[in-house]
Structure 1
């Protein structure tokens, strides 16, 4: 991984330099991708990554399958963790995005990131309804209480099923009247979203297969109310252990917090500063040295929105800027990626007949061994996906081309 180097200047002797190769090696081991680092259970994958992107249902299973030693058990084991044991929970988290978290982190996520978003969402809903001439906040509170009671009786239910018990959920109101983006919203859609970010409900088992986005709702598991600052410190410690070193910009982007919150949490956990090519980065306390096994080469086919590809705002150390146009959509969502030893080297897709196809976009250092390892990963993926067809929710240029 190269010798130890220390940054010069004002902080000479205090900040250790962490180069690109060392960061890539750390990524492979900590994210359960490097040889000998794969997990036995989905819970281990979620704990290693802190959060699995859940806005595309297939991403959760594909991200887990890429990191399990026995990928053939991916669907059954992930569904067990999500819907039977409830050791994994699908809920709103950072940046108002749906993730899958280890159950023990739900209280931390709710207090550190959910409360602020929840306040904004409820205020926005009440304001939008008032502008449309819809009933007031007291009416909404009554509908909410009735909806939660119905969900408690049913255990899990779709919005349509809940509306059978509480018909007021079907009522509609005009949003942004007179604007170019005017639309009609249903009370159920907006209210259940608010209840989700408030930590009162979570996504349950989908109506269809593991690729379905038609989820039932379920009451959120009980959790203690934590101090916001303590929760932010806890979440940052978990994330830096998984993804450090990272810059302040990375941390602000991933958490969605204000920079003052990021800096307070860094101080609270005693994060250590290290020198990166792009400036000062941070690692968890006592975690500045190279990780064991980081020099072992590895290949991976990671899905769209995989938490490894989406983990940092600054990604040049593992993703060449020239690869962004074919691998990202216009909103900044990453598509399926091919990795070799800690960097993105191409993309992949599934064709209608089930074949997994891939293309290298950066062949620098990708020799015969790498291509054989990538081909083996493609075959492993096809083996456990089987007859299921997976189309990313956010499609990218290369994925569209390869899947055609």
Structure 2
């Protein structure tokens, strides 16, 4: 309870002094470095498809798909332990430890001599990486207001796109590409700000600004106590299940983006070098799309579900191009490959919604873990839709992407209607959303 008491003390000491937007802006943090490094895990298979990993490790038949899927099986196993560690122990130390061991494990990719060894390495890699994104989302929830959180998720994913472009274009050797994750783990041990209460470099006045600006979130200051009541509330929250299903359906498109686009482009008849050059702009396009998509709801309030809908339409359009265009239409097919990742911006906004609409620290942590388990399930099952006999066009897979993205788009409309109904019901019964002490008392939107 130390953080809660400290938050109350800080607010009582400085409550009489008003804050202004200028100092607030100075106290915001960007925590996108590790998420951009997470892209290296995907690139291990992504670039490997171009440079012969399938032949070298005998990834024949559907073994290549399973090499992508098994990573997320480990992810599922590691999600709950990571969330518990992050709640019970200093979150910056947990994050640093995970990233350190994750970097060492990623280095071991070069030592894999068979497909069995690759399977084992990627299973353990997924187990270690399970805590990275949820932990950093929890940190975002401790520093940013609701209207800022979706944009910060976009910054993360746009950083991944830029990182993919940089290393894809330069193609620095494997050892340099992967060993720097180890160094970044050490940096986060010493420099990662876990929450406004314990962030280094703040005086008491600045801590008050960082804490006070988040009271509107009603999301609860970080504490180490697991509250079962908040878990029960989450399980009957229809918004949680809607986000879970939307995320699952929209991320079906991640399978071709993460693993099969290089095979598709190489199937156009290009050699290794030209395939790599043609894929290089994809990172910039992805980063720009994601950043633009998540900036829109930040600039224009109450637009998040509309932007999610448009993101899904972008992916549907790209999948239709890759499904229906003739092989001779190389320009259109490449364009489809570049914009297929349009769903990623919607995923970032969904993560922002899951934080913004889940008050209470335990509820928010459990919500993120649950959504990431759904994310892992779709990453595990999604590649199975892209069978080796369908290469390089994968028409059945892209048909599935069109259908699931369309359903996800419709569910975003349902989510909006549910939120409108909840708000009207709250107004009708006279419940005030920003009730007093919600942040420092760590209660949910239903005061559990």
What TM-score do the two structures reach when normalised by structure 1?
0.23
* Bigger proportion of residues as strand: 1
* Bigger proportion of residues as helix: 2
Greater relative contact order (Cα 8 A, min sep 6): structure 1 or 2?
2
What TM-score do the two structures reach when normalised by structure 2?
0.21
